[in-house]
Amino acid sequence: MQGSENAREGNKQPALHADLEQKEEARKIRRLQVMIGMVMSVIGQDPNLSIEEASELAAGAKRAALAMFPDKELAFDILYRPRLQRLINERFRLQ
């Protein structure tokens, strides 16, 4: 009887670990979304921001994203880079 209880508890461990990993992944994604939103707000609203500072903010956001998700550079370049570049182009009237 105890053997079957231990086996059931053993089966809970991988599920628990997977659940914790999913929660951590969701937390990191939310943190990234908030960070990108803040960077975009600063780039779009700070009247004293230079184009060099805006570019550095975008580069810093990418570095932070890659620190959280080291193997997801392509995803960043597809999802966030165009949004940041478009905002910088609009803000500084670049072509």
Answer whether 78's CB lies under 8 Å from 34's CB. Answer: no
Averaged pLDDT of the chain:
90
Q: CA 74, CA 83: separation in Å to the nearest integer?
A: 14
The number of domains in the chain is 1
Q: Alpha-carbon distance 79 to 31, whole Å?
A: 15
Single pTM value for the model: 0.80
Q: What angle do CA 50, 33, 87 make, to 5 degrees?
A: 35
- What was the pLDDT predicted at 15? 86
Q: Which domain holds residue 78?
A: 2-91
Q: Average pLDDT in the 38-62 region?
A: 97
